[in-house]
Amino acid sequence: MANRNHPTKPPDADRESGQKALLFEVAGDKRVDNGNEERRLRIAALSLEETIRYVRASHPDLEITEIKVLGHIEVLSSSEHL
């Protein structure tokens, strides 16, 4: 029977080394029929520019008023964007 816990190998060595991304909070005003409605989104991306491009493409009715960096996060499984 093979020993699954190799003594010189760290426990997470089989997993790809995680890539770091930034966690952004984007605040903005969404245009609705009776005025504007405040919205907040949390988005993980590699850069501020990528975040802005994503918000403009996915939420064209949202006018960005503020973007905050909440921290770094480890990406455990990558998508086509990260």
Closest CA to 25 of 58, 48, 2: 48
Tell me the H-state helices in 7-77: 48-58
Q: For every residue of 15-35, which 3-state class applies, written as one string?
A: CCCCEEEEEEEEEEEEEECCE
Q: Contact 74/20 with Cβ under 8 angstroms?
A: yes
Q: What is the pLDDT along the chain (82 residues), one digit of tens a residue?
A: 454 554 444 444 444 456 789 999 999 998 877 778 899 999 999 999 999 999 999 999 999 999 999 999 987 766 555 4
CATH number 3.30.479.30 given to 19-75: no
